[in-house]
Structure 1
């Protein structure tokens, strides 16, 4: 009597090693956002040390990254923004299942970016932090997205090309197109970039790093 061929068990595909990006829209009132825009443009004119640093390092537009480290103390509007971001960073840390051991995410640095037409920010990470992010003050049409890179990309030595169109979870570079008053958070080791600003107006944002304290 011939042997019966055993019925094949159903195959299962497991999705592992998720990279979680946090997005929240309209996190502050429009009135506060308008005040932040005015302050950002004022700093882009008056912050001589910041402008000098931008010129020296070929940074397009303006950033307070290397000149002002006390924006939340200096301007109440930035202090209110930080309080709003604090809540979201704590929610993000919990979503990542971190063992906070009695600590919580705390802002370590915060800076303004005013990127004119033609500006871009090449691929980079944020060392010495656990959560990094950007709050978007102004995103005129054409200003472009923020793009995150698959952290495994450098290990894919012989990976075959994939068929197009690709679902977002399989893309090696994933764009997010934020609006004004959008908050984006990610783990600081995640490489990201800002493509060429094709808008006629300024792309204004506030970037920051958080540590656990």
Structure 2
């Protein structure tokens, strides 16, 4: 008798230890949050606690050299992940946006349509920052599935929470539903999210 695991959902995880890069990114995020009136307005209208450039700025690598450096770094990591996924494609960065999430902020469950890989880089993570939660993509089909043991292996859980930490880089296939859990701390969590096509 044997049990095989089918249809694996992969999550790429790396630690970026380049303090200079993270410091420069943090500075740029704060400058954008101050200067980007359209992004601040969009954030207010959508009830986003803090600031995001998601709907206002689509040219960050051309706007600031540190984001161009980041683009090259992310592209290398995406290529490694694509190879691990056995893809016959070279991922190309399609979009990149910054997030400054204040205490109490969260982001409801969503996917990233029109892309193949998505991800987040955590630039600054104050104590109490909410985890990113990934949802088992089979969940909508599990109509009568019984409850699992609380200590079930990670690959058998319906939800997996990853605690953010400074320098953590995560990549996943864009169809994977995820959310940002509420932040209970008072500091500003800085992150950069992105999509590859």
Which category describes the TM-score, using the shorter chain as reference length? over 0.9
CA distance in 2, matches of 1:117, 1:161: 32
Which residue in the other structure is 2:77 paired with?
88
The normalised TM-score by structure 1 is 0.90
Which residue in the other structure is 1:20 paired with?
10
Deviation at 1:160, TM superposition (A): 1.2
Unaligned runs of 5+ in 1: 1-10
From 123, 128, 137, the counterpart of 1:142: 128
Which residue in the other structure is 1:198 paired with?
184
SS at match of 1:105: coil
Which residue in the other structure is 1:176 paired with?
162
Q: Answer yes or no: is the 8 Å Cα contact 2:110–2:177 preserved in 1.
A: yes
C-alpha offsets along residues 119-149 of structure 1, whole Å, 9 cap, x if unaligned? 0000000000000000110111110211100
Deviation at 1:59, TM superposition (A): 1.5
SS at match of 2:94: strand
SS at match of 1:79: helix
Deviation at 1:164, TM superposition (A): 2.2
Unaligned runs of 5+ in 2: none
Deviation at 1:56, TM superposition (A): 1.4
1:37 and 2:23 are equivalent in the alignment? no
Q: Provide the aligned C-alpha RMSD in A.
A: 0.9
Which residue in the other structure is 2:101 paired with?
115
Which residue in the other structure is 1:56 paired with?
45
Q: Answer yes or no: is the 8 Å Cα contact 2:129–2:164 preserved in 1.
A: no
Which residue in the other structure is 1:7 paired with?
none
The normalised TM-score by structure 2 is 0.97
Deviation at 1:110, TM superposition (A): 0.4
SS at match of 2:81: helix
